[in-house]
């Protein structure tokens, strides 16, 4: 750790593409606030202990020695002259958060192996891989040779390391090699250029900031803030580490003499008012005449559609935020504004730094959510499948954004372990949660919203790529469903849904809007059965849709009997109007009561509300129960009776779900739009989500 409580000398050097906004020196109050910021950051583990830092340096030293020995061996095997071998060199460079000096406790290290021209990439993935395998300290060794940027992943003495490879057009690799030299890119293949890009960008950033220590402390604070506010993920359409680093670096250029407390505030000030899509540049782009594609909207039409361009400073310049969508940009800009308001309070001593790092409850923020589940039979298949699905979720967000009835789609970057269909069956699953804001309704009429195409085009894309890349296995599945806020507690791990439980009013809303979903222990229904409930002044109205494909006659009777029993147990009366359709029941039922509001809402204005499930044409006639009489007041008192009621309702739901997932889940097969199918049929879930919205 360091203490930046030192007056910075006014720097005459000009940084960035514009003049600075302010050259003001820090005041005593700024230094005090910076010290308070450091103390606030410590409990979050953003500073690594000196012992751990020395251990990383030792591991990188061992790895560097290993690389040099390996290159000498390869050189000897290829009959390189001994005079060259003596000085052949070879070196491990680092980049990313470790190179920037902002890595946290337990973080991995991004490394680059640089070799001379006679060492091939095939040597790296064969003889060097074998050499790593021989080392006692190396665990979890795996090579990803076909990746966009090929990499060897390993754990060296307990430290996770990703090693890229670059072969330069040099006979030897000098110890003082500066990778920022554009001339090194001549005569290199595109994979080597991509591998070098990480180091070149990181080194450029460090050379373009006025004060590295102030930059590092500010970046630590901003990265922690972004992670706590669920906006840190390049792959999901937010910003990754290098993008946050460039925004902080630009702030440092605009306020070259400011300390971290001031820079954090100015960061929010600058980017809450930034006129996107004007690009953020740390230096003027340079053309090295190497005919490499660079970000330039004047030349490349697709670059004109980037919403939040942040341009890397090293040639070939690229937009590091091409995944950003309209929703993710809107979410980040809103967070910038909130950050500005909080830091305004902090500078006025009206709030502490801890307020900036308070994590909002994502699961209370929206009324409606799409839950996405990816599952596979083995851990290895699951890791591959989850990686592919996660890399495509931004496509789903884009599809939802294009829907005329959706204002915003916010995917939570944090994924969670999913539930099992069967306790005794080995299965690995992961879920992601997407908050959805529907447009405010105009007019009194109800509105039917069909998200089926948006979901299905996403799942088709994932399956198609899995088949093309030959990684698909028959048990790999994707499921998507709509759930309301209260239902999330049944899907998420306990620590994630505690906030939801606290806000619930004791009753469980079972409105369901997902057709043919499967594999998730939630009342959002699979193809065998779905339940929806709307409250009415008289009691509860249940809408039950049953699809009996593939279910035996005896099981049908059992399901119907169980549901009737559930209704009786819930409402304390026998159901009426058995056999009427759900659509009729919905029309005849009394208007639903408003749900109690949450104290923390993103869409606090009146938003569309889901009243019932829109029945799909292929479903069977359904069973519904008419309104029941009100239950008499409990003699136990309001609080006690509420708790008893909650436990009782939860036990009914859990009992039904347990039975359902053991007996009633079926799968559909449909990949008609995939050009070439594998030999075995592929079970693909048709995710149909149809909502009826009213004011």
Catalytic residue among 97, 522, 535, 624: 97
Cis peptide before 178 (omega within 30 of 0): no
Measure the CA–CA gap between 160 and 179, rounded to whole angstroms: 24
- Is 97 among the catalytic positions? yes
Measure the CA–CA gap between 309 and 391, rounded to whole angstroms: 20
Structural contact between residues 111 and 93, judged by C-beta atoms closer than 8 angstroms: yes
Cis peptide before 316 (omega within 30 of 0): yes
Measure the CA–CA gap between 277 and 285, rounded to whole angstroms: 17
- Is 475 among the catalytic positions? no
Residue 96 CB: number of other CB atoms within 10 A?
Answer: 22
Catalytic residue among 15, 91, 98, 232: 232
Structural contact between residues 542 and 625, judged by C-beta atoms closer than 8 angstroms: yes
- Is 582 among the catalytic positions? no
Measure the CA–CA gap between 60 and 163, rounded to whole angstroms: 11
CA distances from 547 to 354, 517, 562, 597 (A): 52, 12, 16, 34
Measure the CA–CA gap between 52 and 410, rounded to whole angstroms: 36
Residue 170 phi, psi (nearest 5)? -125, 150
Side-chain-side CA neighbours of 164 within 13 Å: the count stands at 23
Catalytic residue among 62, 131, 157, 162: 162
Catalytic residue among 108, 450, 498, 670: 108
Structural contact between residues 202 and 99, judged by C-beta atoms closer than 8 angstroms: yes
Sequence-ordered alpha helix ranges (H) in 208-240: 212-228
Cβ burial of 625 (10 Å; 0-12, 13-18, 19+) is buried
- Is 110 among the catalytic positions? yes
Catalytic residue among 30, 110, 303, 513: 110
Catalytic residue among 91, 223, 227, 365: 223
Measure the CA–CA gap between 30 and 18, rounded to whole angstroms: 25
Q: Which two tokens stand for residue 190?
A: 């595109």
Measure the CA–CA gap between 91 and 164, rounded to whole angstroms: 12
Pairing of strands 159-167, 109-115: parallel
Measure the CA–CA gap between 275 and 271, rounded to whole angstroms: 8
- Is 223 among the catalytic positions? yes
Query: What residues act catalytically?
Result: 97, 108, 110, 162, 223, 232
């Amino acid at each position: 750790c360091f203490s930046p409580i030192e007056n910075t000398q006014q720097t005459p050097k000009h940084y960035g593409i514009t003049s600075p906004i302010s050259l003001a020196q820090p005041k005593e109050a700024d230094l005090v606030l910076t010290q308070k910021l450091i103390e606030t950051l410590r409990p979050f583990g953003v500073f690594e202990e000196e012992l751990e830092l020395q251990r990383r340096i030792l591991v990188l030293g061992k790895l560097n020695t290993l690389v040099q020995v390996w290159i000498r061996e390869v050189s000897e095997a290829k009959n390189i002259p001994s005079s060259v071998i003596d000085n052949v060199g070879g070196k491990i460079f680092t980049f990313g958060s470790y190179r920037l000096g902002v890595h946290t406790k337990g973080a991995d290290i991004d490394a680059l192996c640089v070799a001379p021209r006679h060492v091939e990439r095939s040597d790296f993935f064969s003889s060097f891989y074998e050499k790593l395998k021989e080392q006692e300290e190396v665990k979890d060794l795996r090579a990803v040779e076909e990746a966009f940027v090929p990499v060897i992943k390993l754990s060296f003495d307990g430290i996770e390391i990703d090693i890229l490879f670059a072969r330069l057009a040099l006979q030897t690799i000098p110890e003082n090699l500066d990778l920022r030299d554009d001339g090194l890119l001549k005569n290199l293949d595109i994979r080597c250029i991509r591998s070098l890009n990480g180091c070149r960008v990181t080194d450029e950033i460090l050379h373009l900031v006025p004060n590295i220590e102030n930059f590092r402390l500010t970046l630590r604070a901003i990265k922690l803030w972004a992670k706590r506010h669920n906006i840190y993920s390049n792959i999901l359409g937010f910003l990754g580490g290098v993008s946050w680093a460039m925004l902080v670096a630009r702030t440092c250029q605009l306020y070259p003499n400011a300390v971290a407390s001031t820079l954090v505030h100015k960061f929010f000030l600058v980017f809450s008012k930034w006129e996107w899509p004007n690009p953020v540049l740390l230096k003027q782009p340079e053309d090295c005449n190497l005919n490499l594609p660079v970000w330039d909207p004047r030349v490349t039409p697709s670059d004109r559609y980037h919403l939040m361009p942040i341009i890397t400073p090293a040639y070939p310049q690229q937009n590091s935020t091409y995944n950003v969508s309209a929703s993710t940009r809107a979410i980040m800009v809103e967070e910038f504004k909130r950050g500005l308001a909080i830091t305004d309070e902090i500078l006025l001593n009206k709030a502490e730094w801890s307020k900036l790092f308070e994590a909002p409850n994502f699961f209370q923020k929206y009324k409606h959510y799409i839950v996405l589940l990816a599952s596979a039979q083995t851990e290895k298949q699951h890791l591959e499948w989850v990686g592919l699905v996660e890399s495509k979720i931004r496509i789903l967000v884009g599809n939802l954004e294009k829907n005329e009835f959706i204002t915003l789609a916010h995917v939570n970057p944090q994924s969670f372990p999913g539930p099992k269909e069967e306790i005794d069956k080995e299965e690995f699953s992961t879920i992601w949660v997407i908050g959805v804001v529907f447009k405010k309704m105009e007019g009194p009429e109800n509105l039917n919203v069909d998200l089926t195409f948006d979901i299905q085009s996403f799942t088709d894309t994932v399956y198609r790529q899995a088949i093309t890349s030959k990684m698909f296995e028959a048990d790999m599945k994707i499921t998507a469903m709509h759930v309301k806020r209260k239902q999330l507690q049944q899907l998420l791990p306990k620590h994630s849904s505690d906030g939801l439980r606290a806000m619930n009013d004791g009753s469980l809303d079972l409105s369901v809007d997902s057709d043919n979903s499967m594999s998730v222990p939630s009342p959002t229904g699979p193809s065998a059965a779905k339940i929806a409930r709307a409250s009415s002044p008289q009691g509860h109205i249940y809408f039950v849709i049953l699809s009996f494909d593939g279910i035996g006659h005896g099981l049908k009777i059992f399901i119907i009997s169980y549901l009737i029993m559930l209704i009786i147990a819930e409402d304390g009366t026998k159901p009426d109007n058995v056999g009427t359709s759900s659509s009729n029941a919905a029309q005849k039922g009394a208007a639903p009561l408003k749900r109690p509001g949450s104290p923390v809402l993103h869409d606090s204005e009146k938003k569309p509300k889901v009243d019932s499930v829109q029945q799909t044409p292929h479903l069977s006639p359904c069973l519904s129960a008419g309104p029941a009489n009100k239950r008499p007041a409990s003699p136990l008192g309001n609080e006690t009776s509420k708790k008893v009621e909650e436990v009782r309702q939860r036990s009914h739901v859990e009992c039904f779900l347990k039975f359902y997932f053991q007996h009633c889940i079926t799968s559909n097969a449909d990949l008609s739009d995939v050009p070439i199918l594998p030999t075995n049929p592929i079970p693909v879930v048709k995710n149909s989500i149809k909502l009826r919205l009213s004011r």
